[in-house]
Amino acid sequence: MSTLPVIRLRPKSKPQAIRHGFPWVFADEVVTDRRTRTIAPGSFACLEDAERRPLALVTVNPASKIIARVMDADPQAQIDGDWLRARLRRALALRNRLFDVPFYRVVHAEADGLPGLIIDRFGDTAVIQPNAAWSDAMSGEIAAALCAEADISTVILNGQGRSRSLEGLAERMEVLCGTAPAAPIQVPMNGTIYMADVMGGQKTGLFYDQRPNHAFAQRLASGRVLDVFSHVGGFGLAMLGAGAEHATLVDGSAPALDLAQQGAGAMGVADRLEVRQQDAFAALEALAAEGARFDVVICDPPAFAPAKPALEAGLRAYERVARLAAPLVAPGGYLGLCSCSHAADLTSFRNVSSRGIGRSGRRGQLIHTGQAGPDHPTLPQLAETGYLKALFFRLDG
């Protein structure tokens, strides 16, 4: 018999969602007595329905609104090194089928059966983001399993970000094994070279999720390109590599723009790149005042609506981006608008983007709708795993 603690759903909670693959249990769905509240964050427990029938093995964090996350449908499973290696083998098998070189997201949290855990790979270096208490507590075991299953010699833990604070986890940054890279890592993607600062950059150092949308933008590349909220030059460098004459990158981060310039230098296109360190909204307004026009404009902002309470303000911000960006597109040119806010669904984002374009006095065709790449799989039962939206419009005169 299992010696794990037990948490139980309230009588009115519906266990069917868990049985059908939904991976989260919210705090108001379980009986939270004194015993439940004393379970250490990151511990494992058996989840039961109101009739005391086992449903799954879960990890528990009484400090989080998501009090339990499903680890295994088998309530008798043992979460140890062997279990971790099996999950990683499954995740790696998918990526190795998809990609010829080892630069990709290895683990996409719940969608890969490892709730709250992100792992990105940069050749023989991996960066893990343990955004749930269990993965933070088992970070050493995760690193060991990763090195055992893949040709990886360095594992870095980047414990920063909003998700950790929601779990009650402190920020931390450390090298779990190997040696931290002395310089940014060159990352090949879509024929482009990006520079990833895995120790000091945003998130894990590079965003792999836009890979297929970069590739689509490359098909539109011509003339002058504007990449707003560019980070390390994702869209701008991709289009320069595909033949665009010139790219202007706008971002508020000087280190990110420096990495973009290093990437352009490695590609041999530095003479066709211009960077502007400036607030994105201010830059859009200034460029309009200058009478600037571009053949392609891409806006890929941070999450304006990271959670439902921010949704209304976030949608207004996305509409404003579209309204300010559309006038900068030359007649017959292209506008790409992106959202990484899981709280803003595709329909809502498309509606406010179209409204913003219309309010600018422009009209156009929606020619392509993109999402994250296949190394960021979606768990159908959890909408949050399908967070990325990319809309490409062809604008008239």
What pLDDT, on a 0 to 100 scale, did the predictor assign at position 3?
Answer: 85
Q: Are residues 299 and 342 in the same domain?
A: yes
Residue 122 belongs to some domain of the structure? yes
Q: Are residues 223 and 295 in the same domain?
A: yes
What's 91's domain CATH number? 3.30.750.80
Residue 54 belongs to some domain of the structure? yes
* DSSP-assigned beta bridge partners for residue 167: none
Last residue in a domain, options 144, 159, 177: 177
What pLDDT, on a 0 to 100 scale, did the predictor assign at position 297?
Answer: 98
- For 217-229, the pLDDT digits (tens) are 999 999 999 999 9
Closest CA to 324 of 278, 281, 276, 279: 281
Residue 340 belongs to some domain of the structure? yes
Q: Give Cβ neighbours of residue 389 (< 8 Å, ≥ 6 apart).
A: 338, 339, 344, 346, 349, 350, 369, 370, 371
Q: Are residues 312 and 385 in the same domain?
A: yes
Q: How many helices (H) and strands (E) does the chain have?
A: 12, 19
Burial 195-230 (b: 16+ CB within 10 A, else e): bbbbeebbebbbbbbbbbbbbbbbebbeebbbbbbb
What pLDDT, on a 0 to 100 scale, did the predictor assign at position 2?
Answer: 61
Q: Are residues 116 and 236 in the same domain?
A: no
Last residue in a domain, options 177, 207, 235: 177
Q: Give Cβ neighbours of residue 126 (< 8 Å, ≥ 6 apart).
A: 106, 119, 120, 146, 150, 152, 154, 155, 156
Query: 306 near 341, Cβ under 8 Å?
Result: yes
Q: Are residues 56 and 85 in the same domain?
A: no
Domain range for residue 255? Answer: 185-395
Query: 315 near 323, Cβ under 8 Å?
Result: no
pLDDT at 69 over 90: yes
Q: Are residues 222 and 359 in the same domain?
A: yes
Q: Are residues 258 and 383 in the same domain?
A: yes
Q: Are residues 153 and 241 in the same domain?
A: no
- 1 pLDDT band, cuts 50/70/90, is very low
Residue 1 belongs to some domain of the structure? no
Last residue in a domain, options 146, 177, 208: 177
Q: Are residues 246 and 124 in the same domain?
A: no
Overall number of domains in the chain: 3
What's 10's domain CATH number? 2.30.130.10
Q: Are residues 65 and 87 in the same domain?
A: no
- For 152-176, the pLDDT digits (tens) are 999 999 998 888 988 999 999 999 9
- For 265-308, the pLDDT digits (tens) are 999 999 999 999 999 999 999 999 999 999 999 999 999 998 89
Residue 146 belongs to some domain of the structure? yes
Compute the radius of gyration of the chain from its Cα atoms.
22
What pLDDT, on a 0 to 100 scale, did the predictor assign at position 361?
Answer: 96
Residue type, 124: D
Q: Are residues 105 and 194 in the same domain?
A: no
What's 192's domain CATH number? 3.40.50.150
Q: Are residues 20 and 161 in the same domain?
A: no
